[in-house]
Amino acid sequence: MSLGIGIIGAGVMGADHARTLATQVGGAKLVAVSDPDEARACEVARANEARRHHTDGFALIEDPVVEAVIVASPDHTHAAMVLACLRAGKPVLCEKPLAPTVAECRELIEAEQRTGRRMIQVGFMRRFDPAYAAMHATLSSGRLGRPLLMHCAHRNAVAPGFFTPEMSIANAAVHEFDVVRWLLGFEAVAVTALRSASKANGALRDPILLLLEMQNGVLVDIEIFMNAAYGYDIRAELVCENGTIELGRPAPNLVRNEGGEARTFPGDWRGRFSDAYRLQLQAWIGGIGGKTQSGAGALDGYVATQIAQAALRSLASGAREEISPDASLTG
């Protein structure tokens, strides 16, 4: 029997989740889509054989055919939608960020705790990416010794005109914040953000360089470059006592013409992480049936937002910002 899934938000992410559910994932069926733009909600629902569409996310959550919810609406709506899912007793997969502020994340953690079970998964899909999973397995084996340094790069071809330095951190770097914690098994204790002096990209002035200091002494540098021009490119390398681990990357296409050859990269995240999104959805659905979840939880969403807010303060001040997790939440 298939689990009835409702999706809140019929934009790029919501539509992608709908297609993946309809064509690549077992054990669940898309039954409803909501979006303030009724035509768009109807289009995504019809294209993926969902029975219903709504213009209000709260109505979708209350719809009796919906048993679990994916929140892919704008960031500022996440906290309210997730809280409504908890009150309705429906498991929820929320796209990052869990919420834009630490206070909202804390409220969601406390609300989930009152349900007595895990209800929230946050869409940090890199944990399910085969290349990151292989990196995690190699590090966990211990054969390369302790990690010492980590280098990361998050490059996008072209950022939208409205993109800001703050969005580079809150909407892009949060993926690195989560996957670094997951790989290393330690928390970040401080962050420093440095902005490029380049004015080539106007107010964005990217790339931005972030330095995370981890509890175990590992230093992690993260380059965020939203206008790298050549394509979407994600890189990571761990430097350990007895060797290094570099993130495996899907081979870019090799194009030969006009007497030369060139490699082409994906235009955006969908080409690079399609497997990760599919595996994340399948694991989430399987976890609901089995009462266990393997992906990022509400606490992981809280910590990612906390690091992002500290990085934003550092970006504004130029100073190193310490990160102190709330002991009442982290234990």
249 and 164 in one domain?
yes
User: H helices within 127-268, ranges in order?
Assistant: 130-141, 165-167, 174-184
Position 290 scores a pLDDT of: 72
- Positions in the chain short of pLDDT 50: none
- φ, ψ for residue 233, nearest 5 deg: -145, 120
Q: Are 95 and 214 part of one and the same domain?
A: no
Q: Coil, strand or helix: which one is 172?
A: helix
Q: Within 13 Å of residue 237, how many CA atoms lie on the same side as its CB?
A: 7
Distance CA(201)–CA(182), nearest Å, equals: 32
- Exposed/middle/buried for residue 64 (C-beta within 10 Å: 0-12, 13-18, 19+): exposed
State whether residue 178 is helix, strand or coil.
helix
Helix (H) or strand (E) holding 256: strand 253-257
Residues 21 and 71 in one domain: yes
**What does the pLDDT read at residue 159?**
87
pLDDT score recorded for residue 270:
80
pLDDT at 230: 84
β-pair partners for 219: 149, 213
Residues 184, 315 within the same domain: yes
- The answer to whether residue 247 sits within a structural domain is yes
Q: Report which DSSP code applies to 296.
A: B
Residue 37 lies in a domain: yes
Whether residues 135 and 260 share a domain: the answer is: yes
Q: Which domain holds residue 117?
A: 3-125+274-294
Query: Are 229 and 310 within one domain?
Result: yes
Q: Is the same domain home to 59 and 41?
A: yes
Beta carbons of 38 and 291 less than 8 angstroms apart? no
Q: Hunting for tokens 């990151």 — which residue is that? A: 132
Per-residue pLDDT, 113: 96
Per-residue tokens: 101: 């502020």
Whether residue 283 sits in one domain with residue 232: no
Establish if 92 belongs to a structural domain: yes
> Cα–Cα distance between 205 and 23 in angstroms, integer?
40
Angle among Cα 34, 36, 41 to the nearest 5 degrees reads 45
Q: For the domain that residue 50 is a member of, what is the CATH number?
A: 3.40.50.720
Query: Across the strands, what pairs with 33?
Result: 7, 53
In a domain, 132, yes or no: yes
For residue 255, tell me if it sits in a domain: yes
132 and 240 in a single domain? The answer is: yes
Residue 300 domain-assigned (yes or no): no
Angle of the 102-115 helix axis to the 78-88 helix axis, nearest 10? 10
Are residues 110 and 146 part of one domain? no
For residue 197, what pLDDT is reported?
Answer: 66
Helix (H) / strand (E) element for 122: namely strand 120-122
Q: Which residues contact 149 (CB under 8 A, 6 or more apart)?
A: 218, 219, 220, 221, 238, 239
Residue with tokens 């910590």: 303
Whether the model pTM is above 0.95:
no
Q: What is the pLDDT of residue 193?
A: 96
Number of domains forming the structure of the chain: 2
Whole-number pLDDT of residue 294: 85
CATH number of the domain that residue 226 is part of: 3.30.360.10
Q: By C-alpha distance, which of 88, 163, 75, 167 is closest to 122?
A: 75
